Amino acid sequence: MVKQRAFFINSVIFIFVLQWMVFPLSGFAQTRDITITIHLRGVYESKISLLGMSASKTYKPIVEVPGIKDGGSTKIVVPKANLPGEFVLRFDYKENESSTPYPSEKSIFVYEQALELWVSPKYCNNGDSTWFQKGELENATFIQFSKENGKQKEKLGLLQNFLMNYDDTESAFYQQGVKEYEQRRQNFNQWLKTRTQQDKKLFVSNMYGFQFVPEISLKGSETDRIRSLINHYFDGMDFKDPLLIKTSNINKWMDNYVNLYGQLSTTTALRDSLFPAAGRNAIEKAKNGDPLIYGWMVDYFYRGYESNGIDAGMKVLEPYLNDPKCLTSKRQEIERRLKGMETLVIGSKAPDISMKDPDGNPFELYKTETPCKYILLLFWSAGCSHCVETVDMLYPWQHQAEVQQKIKVVAVSLDETESEVKLWEQKILKLDGWKHLHAKEGVRSKEASDFYVLATPVMVLLDAKTKEIVASPNTVEELKKVIK
C-alpha cells in the first residue's frame, strides 16, 4: 500500500504537558512465551483476539480464539518476540445465540508474568466486573500510577490555569502563586523519579518519564512561554532507555514538541526554517543516548520532512547518515531523497515516462504534445486519503476554462493492492480530461524511482515544450501561485 503523507500537529498550545498518558508498543524480545488464561462470563459466547501494535502504529491480530462460551476458559500464548509490550484484548461477543456480535476492547500490559483474567466483555474495563489474578504486577501498577499521577497533575493544572490567566503579573499575590507552582512542579517531578526507580523492574516504568512537567516561563508573552518549553522539553527524558521507542505514544510526545515550533511559525518560510531547527535540536539530544533512540529520532523527522516537503529538513539529516551509532531504518530513503533534491531541481530535464494507459495505448512523456504551457505530473494513490483530498481540490480548479488551457494533467497511480486498484478504477471515471497511468509496482516502480517518489501525493510541474522542471509544489495552493 502506498504510504500516505502525515502531518505535524498544529493544535493550540495550552497545558498539554499535564495531560499525556503513555502506553507501550510491543517491546524487546525476551527468553520465553507468556500465557494469558481468560475466563469468560456474562455473555452467551465470544471470539477473543489478541492484538499487538504493528510497526505502522496500528493494531493487528496475533491470536484469535472463536466460540468461547459463557463460563468457559481459553489460553492465549503471547510469542516472546512480541514481549514486553501493550496489547489489546478484543471481545466480539453475543449476548444470546441469535445476537449479532458486538465488540469491546481492553488494553493490557504483558512482560514476564503469566496472566489470568476473569472478564465480562460488556464491562471489560470495569474493575468490579473484570480483574486479574491476585499478585499481578504490570497492569495493577500502571492503574495505581495513573490514578496518583492524575491527582497530582490536576493540582498543577489548576495552578497553571490561574497563573496564565491572572491579569496582574507584578503583584505579590501572583509572585507567591508562581513560587507555589514551581515548588509543586519540582515535587511532582521528584515523585515521578522516585516512582520510576521504585518500579524499575516493571515494563510500565519505562513510560513514566513522558509525564515529566518541564519548566515554563510564567512571565512575558506567549512566545516566551513557548520558547521556555522548547528549552526544557527534554529535561526529564532518559534517552539511554531503548524501550522508549517501544511506547505507542512517543510519537504524540514528539508531535507536541514539534507543535511548539509550529506555534512560532507565522509564515511558510518561517516554518521551513523552524522545523529543521526542531529536528536538529531533538536529534542532538538523542545522539548521546541509546543508538536505537538516536536512529528513531532521525526516522521520525524524516517522516515529517518527507510528508511536508521540507527540503531544508532533509539536509539537516544528512550528517547523521554517516554516524555508525545512528541506527536509523530510513538511511536508504533519506539518501534517495537527498539525491532527488540534487537531481530534480528547477530547470533540470525531467526523466522520461514510457508506459501504457488503461486502454493499452502507449504513452511517452517526451513525445507528448499539448497546446498547454505546462504538464503537471501527479503521483498519487486512490487508497491514500491525503491524495484523494488533493485530487478533489485539484480537479475542479484545473477544469476552470482559463486554467485548463494552461495545464495538462498526467496522473500516475501508484496503487498496488487489488482493493486500491479497484478504488483507482472507480475514481478515474470521475476524472475525465486527465491522462491516467498506472505503475503496477507502486513506489517500487521505475516511474516512482526516477522521480524519487517515496510517499504520495507528489506533484511535478513541467514546461510542456522543453520538459524542464518548473516547480515541485507540495499543495494545490502552492501550484496556484505558480500558475498565474
Confidence of residue 385 (pLDDT cuts 50, 70, 90): confident
Q: Is the pLDDT of residue 16 over 60?
A: no
- CA torsion, ordered 387, 392, 395, 401, to nearest 10 deg: -150
Q: Is the pLDDT of residue 118 over 70?
A: yes
pLDDT of residue 301: 95
pLDDT of residue 298: 95
- The one-letter amino acid code at 266 reads T
pLDDT of residue 366: 94
Task: Indicate the DSSP class of residue 120.
Answer: -
Q: What is the mean pLDDT of residues 430-438?
A: 94
Is the separation of the CB atoms in 337 and 454 below 8 Å? Answer: yes
Q: What is the mean pLDDT of residues 112-137?
A: 95
* Angle, helix 138-165 to helix 172-198, in steps of 10 degrees: 170
pLDDT of residue 4: 43
Domain spans of the chain, in order of start: 34-134, 354-482
Max avg pLDDT among 290-304, 308-322, 447-461: 290-304
The pLDDT tens digits for 21-42 are 333 333 355 679 999 999 999 9
CA-closest candidate to residue 316, choices 267, 264, 261, 266: 261
Is the separation of the CB atoms in 467 and 349 below 8 Å? Answer: yes
pLDDT of residue 28: 57
Tell me the average pLDDT of the chain.
88
pLDDT of residue 142: 94
Residue 241 in 3-state DSSP? coil
CATH architecture of 354-482: 3-Layer(aba) Sandwich (3.40)
pLDDT of residue 57: 56
- Find the range with the poorest average confidence among 71-80, 214-223, 380-389: 214-223
CATH homologous superfamily of 34-134: Transthyretin/hydroxyisourate hydrolase domain (2.60.40.180)
Q: Is the pLDDT of residue 440 over 70?
A: yes
Q: Is the pLDDT of residue 106 over 60?
A: yes
pLDDT of residue 21: 35
The pLDDT tens digits for 257-285 are 999 999 998 877 787 789 999 999 999 99
All cell numbers assigned to 143 = 492503574
Is the Cα torsion angle 124, 130, 132, 137 positive or negative in sign? positive
Confidence of residue 53 (pLDDT cuts 50, 70, 90): confident
- The one-letter amino acid code at 129 reads S
State what percent of residues in the chain have pLDDT above 90.
65
The pLDDT tens digits for 150-191 are 998 998 989 988 888 888 888 999 999 999 999 999 999 999
pLDDT of residue 24: 34
pTM, rounded to two decimals: 0.71
The pLDDT tens digits for 353-377 are 999 998 899 999 999 999 999 999 9
Q: What is the DSSP string of 21-75?
A: ---B-S----SS-EEEEEEE-SSSEEEEEEEEE-TTS-EEEEEEEEEEETT-EEE
pLDDT of residue 56: 52
Q: What is the mean pLDDT of residues 217-228?
A: 86
